Amino acid sequence: MNLSDAAKHPSGGRNRLPRQAPEIVYNSGPVYLDNAATSFPKPPSVIQAVEESIELYGGNPGRGSHALALRAAEEVYACREAAARLFGFSHPERVIFTLNTTHALNLVLKGLLRPGDRAVCSDMEHNAVFRPLYRLVSDGVITLDIFDTYATRRDRTDDMILSSLERHLQPGTRLLVCAHASNICPLTLPLARMGQLCHQRGVLFVVDGAQSAGVLDIDMEAMHIDALCVPGHKGLMGPMGCGMLLLSPDILPDTLLEGGNGLDSLSGEMALDLPERYEAGTLPLPAIAGLRAGIEYVQSVTPAAIREKETRLCTLARDGLLATPGVRVFLPHLSGSTLLFTVDGYDSEEVAGYLDSAPTDTGMSGSRRTVRPGQSICVRPGFHCAALGHRTLGTPEGGAVRASFGWFNTKEDAEALVRRIRALPGRY
């Protein structure tokens, strides 16, 4: 099924759209390998949910009592319930909508950490974690410890990571924050064991699920996660425009934003009611409606199937690049959906620019000849907002190229990447 045709499915309601993944064929257009930045394309049911929220019931959720406002509120709440179910969380009323993962992380870090507190993060963090912490350190509010993930060691084990973490959980440590999965390489952290350790030590456990939500299994309660920060537009396949903070009971961070939320309008204080306490201003209903559809889509195909497919395609590309002279693949001993590499003699920007150009690309895939006139390949060069991670990996000055696979990629996409890199004139 062609994506554009599917999106215009004439049968109407969302329930009539295929819940299973349609076989999307890229007839033209780029090969999209930037799913760590945002997933693309989106399932047809997501597009339809966004359209319906605008066309059919676009009231302001939680404001007023007319039918469209109530219908909108019902949709927003249904999304909270869907997210809570996906992440093993029994408190949908504590699913807070944010602008994105960065907003969620800022809210929880700046809202929880107090003067004199000690925070801990890993040596692979994205700037969404590192920069709020850096600001708090710069302002003299907290001290920060960084634990070693041993990312570059082939003999790395979960026990090594846990020992490293344990050494940094000292008296006065208030909070551990870390990414479940790196945004630049296939590294993941053992959340369940880390959460257990934090639980035993009375340390709050905050997880950045930007790269793992919808792909890796996350069970907040089983993993002792106190705050889970996730995007809507990556693995959960929703549109850009909203993320979520899932906040366990008994935690009440200070607010980051204040304003109208439909409650206690005559008071100057933000009401204590969750989630509205942290949702000042109008919610992005179309993004939330699309996110709900995205979550339902992910649940229908299952994160396990998504993970298996993405890993299989990424491994295919990785093995092809490893067999290519002049190409260095970072952490080639790990498997996942994200591939980081450099090409000798080329800056990462040059490689990405070359891939983004639109040659006539022909090749063989099994017994089938593929012809993709004008097809470019979308990847991301540079440092990917991950200073800590790139320092840990020892990325060269020119940065590295990241190719990140998604559910809608194909074997041909992985092969096209390898073929195009092999066609680069050698500079080494």
Contact string (CB under 8 A) for other proteins, positions 82-121, x = contact = ----------xx----------------------------
Count of Cβ atoms closer than 10 Å to residue 317 Cβ: 24
Answer for which of 30, 41, 44, 61 binds other proteins (CB under 8 A) is 61
DSSP E strands, 74-172? 95-98, 118-122, 143-147
Answer for which of 80, 118, 233, 292 binds other proteins (CB under 8 A) is 80
Answer for which of 2, 12, 54, 74 binds other proteins (CB under 8 A) is 74
- Distance from CA of residue 295 to its chain's centroid? 13
Q: Tell me whether residue 409 is exposed, middle or buried, using C-beta atoms within 10 angstroms of its C-beta: 0 to 12, 13 to 18, 19 or more.
A: buried
Q: Please, what is the angle between helix 158-168 and helix 191-201, to 10°?
A: 30
Nearer to other proteins by C-beta: 25 or 56? 56
Contacts 24+ apart (CB under 8 A), 23-27: 24/408, 25/1, 26/372, 26/375, 26/410, 27/2
DSSP E strands, 257-333? 327-329
Shortest distance (Å) from residue 280 CB to other proteins: 13
- Please give the Cα distance from 407 to 392 (Å, whole number): 29
Site for other proteins in 155-184 (CB under 8 A): none
Count of Cβ atoms closer than 10 Å to residue 172 Cβ: 10
Site for other proteins in 225-264 (CB under 8 A): 262-264
Shortest distance (Å) from residue 266 CB to other proteins: 5
- Distance from CA of residue 214 to its chain's centroid? 8
Q: Is 70 in the site for other proteins (CB under 8 A)?
A: yes
Answer for which of 33, 36, 73, 176 binds other proteins (CB under 8 A) is 73
Rg over alpha carbons for the chain, rounded to the nearest Å, is 22
Q: Is 266 in the site for other proteins (CB under 8 A)?
A: yes
Nearer to other proteins by C-beta: 32 or 89? 89
**Of the candidates 323, 275, 222, 254, the residue with the CA atom closest to the CA atom of residue 95:** 275
Q: Is 284 in the site for other proteins (CB under 8 A)?
A: no
Shortest distance (Å) from residue 50 CB to other proteins: 17
Answer for which of 141, 240, 274, 385 binds other proteins (CB under 8 A) is 274
Nearer to other proteins by C-beta: 29 or 260? 260
Nearer to other proteins by C-beta: 79 or 161? 79
Residues found near other proteins in the complex (CB under 8 A) = 57, 61-62, 64-68, 70-71, 73-77, 80-81, 92-93, 262-267, 271, 273-276
